[in-house]
A and B are shown apart, each in its own frame.
Chain A
């Protein structure tokens, strides 16, 4: 049984058809990276899976059940983190647990584990404006992981990072995935990032988007962005992506 399955998903905004007829089948524990030309609806697609956007047509089947609402079993990590500026780092991380009515002691125990994992323990009492962009994203990832979701949805989470921080988080992300065996759906426009992270890379066509091609990626981990052996795979992605980007510009 698939962890996430999409059937005939269509979505338009006004007269613009963003995605059409998306079919997808994602196994438990897969790390799928979605790439596509800008404005192709990758983010919309992820928001539909999260239940934050309703498809015009089609179904999202999650663990065998059709889903129409959002819920903590599919946690989204937003591009800008969407951390709450009125809460300290630790309270941000515990937010979902608090909503679930988990006791203060229990919350602290869980959050400490993930703050430690993301090397944020020192910053537990900081407010978010005191953090660098990279640290904010680590808080956002910790806030998602404490919910122990079945699926992690990541919408260009590293787009705003400097290259050094990004490289570090690419390594951390692989470790997290290997440790937690979560199913991860990760959207990016960065081909190198896609090649490093994914067990599978899905390429969106130009708008109205379909998933044009899925490429498997079985290179050994941990991978880094400058692995020579990954260059060929990056070329394969680019080969599929280039004509779509070109169409997008026309």
Chain B
């Protein structure tokens, strides 16, 4: 991890910004089509100064957290049920595979009809976009548990929910983390996409607002913010969780 933060990487990003600035200064395209990095940074700074940027970030993160929490909780329950109850696997399991192929954005019209232009609708899109990735990975994880773990636990008196919380979930956890990572990525795409279409607060809304105001700097600035938040959550939360679990198991 640390080894990847080489001077190469830093140099690469500096080079991008420099080249970008040079191209912008060359004046090939007008400013309102191709702004310079300086103008983008300035735009972000104003957004930060008047609070609208942070309010947008907070709104999107709040929706993301609720939606992802619902997806993780629901996906774990569904995945375990599918793995442990054959009837559920044969029925619900096949539907899950089908639903998983629907892009989260395709749920937006339904969400608007059901929830109106509300937070609930955006959270619905976020959750439903993420839940099936969590479900499928949890299912795979539980299916791959060494059967001796389950037998040993039952032999030592574990049953019912005890067996689920003390054995099935921790034993399947390395797989479940992959599900959380995929789920989070889908949720992040879902929340931004839904916000663009619902056009009601959040980073997606700011993107769309930038578009309607012909403010290219804002559009690019918000896109950079979306990317940075994605990198941070991926690197800080999920990488750490993964590293911790893998080292516990001696897998890395």
Q: Chain B residue with minimal CB distance to A88?
A: B248
Q: A85 to B158: give the CA distance in the assembly, Å.
A: 17
Q: A147 to B154: give the CA distance in the assembly, Å.
A: 13
**In this assembly, does A95 line the interface, its C-beta being within 8 Å of a C-beta of chain B?**
yes
Asked if B154 contacts A70 (CB within 8 A), the reply is yes
- With contacts A82-B149, A86-B173, A99-B162 known, is A50 near B249, CB below 8 A? no
- With contacts A52-B154, A86-B171, A99-B166 known, is A130 near B250, CB below 8 A? yes
Q: Chain A residue with minimal CB distance to B154?
A: A70
Interface centre among B152, B158, B171 (most CB of A within 10 A): B152
Q: A50 to B154: give the CA distance in the assembly, Å.
A: 10
**In this assembly, does A39 line the interface, its C-beta being within 8 Å of a C-beta of chain B?**
no
Closest CB-CB distance, A131 to chain B, in whole Å?
A: 10
Q: A80 to B153: give the CA distance in the assembly, Å.
A: 15
Q: Which of A69-103 contact B (CB under 8 A)?
A: 70-72, 74-76, 78, 80, 82, 84-87, 95-96, 98-100
Q: Chain B residue with minimal CB distance to A53?
A: B151
> Which one of B152, B155, B166, B250 lies within 8 Å of A98 (CB-CB)?
B166
Asked if A95 contacts B154 (CB within 8 A), the reply is no
- With contacts A85-B248, A85-B249, A129-B249 known, is A50 near B157, CB below 8 A? no
Q: Chain A residue with minimal CB distance to B248?
A: A127
Closest CB-CB distance, A104 to chain B, in whole Å?
A: 15
Asked if B156 contacts A85 (CB within 8 A), the reply is no
Give A88-130 as 1s and 0s: 1 = Cβ < 8 Å from B's Cβ atoms.
Answer: 0000000110111000000000000000000000000001111
Interface residue tally on A, bucketed by range: 20 to 34
Q: Kindly count the residue-residue contacts between A and B in the assembled complex, taking CB atoms under 8 Å apart.
A: 66
**In this assembly, does B74 line the interface, its C-beta being within 8 Å of a C-beta of chain A?**
no
Please indicate the chain A residues that have their CB under 8 angstroms from the CB of B216 in the complex.
Answer: none
Give B195-219 as 1s and 0s: 1 = Cβ < 8 Å from A's Cβ atoms.
Answer: 0000000000000000000000000
- With contacts A98-B166, A99-B157, A100-B157 known, is A82 near B151, CB below 8 A? yes
Asked if A52 contacts B157 (CB within 8 A), the reply is no
**In this assembly, does B9 line the interface, its C-beta being within 8 Å of a C-beta of chain A?**
no
> Which one of B156, B158, B248 lies within 8 Å of A75 (CB-CB)?
B156
Closest CB-CB distance, B233 to chain A, in whole Å?
A: 24
Please indicate the chain A residues that have their CB under 8 angstroms from the CB of B166 in the complex.
Answer: 95, 98-99
**In this assembly, does B170 line the interface, its C-beta being within 8 Å of a C-beta of chain A?**
yes
Closest CB-CB distance, A108 to chain B, in whole Å?
A: 17
> Which one of A82, A98, A100 lies within 8 Å of B146 (CB-CB)?
A82
Q: Chain B residue with minimal CB distance to A50?
A: B155
Closest CB-CB distance, A147 to chain B, in whole Å?
A: 6
> Which one of A51, A74, A80, A127 lies within 8 Å of B250 (CB-CB)?
A127
Interface centre among A74, A78, A143 (most CB of B within 10 A): A78
Asked if A76 contacts B249 (CB within 8 A), the reply is no
Please indicate the chain A residues that have their CB under 8 angstroms from the CB of B157 in the complex.
Answer: 71-72, 96, 99-100, 147
Give B127-169 as 1s and 0s: 1 = Cβ < 8 Å from A's Cβ atoms.
Answer: 0000000000000000000101101111111100010001100
Please indicate the chain B residues that have their CB under 8 angstroms from the CB of A147 in the complex.
Answer: 156-157
Q: Which of B99-132 contact A (CB under 8 A)?
A: none
Asked if A96 contacts B156 (CB within 8 A), the reply is yes
Q: A106 to B245: give the CA distance in the assembly, Å.
A: 28
Interface centre among A52, A74, A128 (most CB of B within 10 A): A52
Closest CB-CB distance, A27 to chain B, in whole Å?
A: 23
Q: Chain A residue with minimal CB distance to B156?
A: A96
Asked if B249 contacts A86 (CB within 8 A), the reply is yes
Closest CB-CB distance, B145 to chain A, in whole Å?
A: 11
Asked if B153 contacts A95 (CB within 8 A), the reply is yes
Closest CB-CB distance, A186 to chain B, in whole Å?
A: 16
> Which one of B149, B162, B245 lies within 8 Å of A84 (CB-CB)?
B149
Q: A100 to B250: give the CA distance in the assembly, Å.
A: 29
Q: A96 to B151: give the CA distance in the assembly, Å.
A: 12
Asked if A129 contacts B250 (CB within 8 A), the reply is yes
Interface centre among B148, B167, B173 (most CB of A within 10 A): B148
Please indicate the chain B residues that have their CB under 8 angstroms from the CB of A75 in the complex.
Answer: 155-156
Q: Chain A residue with minimal CB distance to B148?
A: A82
Q: A80 to B151: give the CA distance in the assembly, Å.
A: 13
8 A-B pairs in the complex with CB atoms less than 8 angstroms apart: A70-B151, A74-B155, A76-B155, A80-B148, A85-B250, A86-B173, A143-B156, A147-B157
Given contacts A70-B155, A99-B153, 9 further A-B contacts (CB under 8 A): A71-B157, A76-B152, A82-B146, A85-B249, A86-B170, A95-B156, A95-B166, A96-B156, A128-B250
Q: Closest 3 interchain pairs by CB?
A: A129-B250, A96-B156, A82-B148
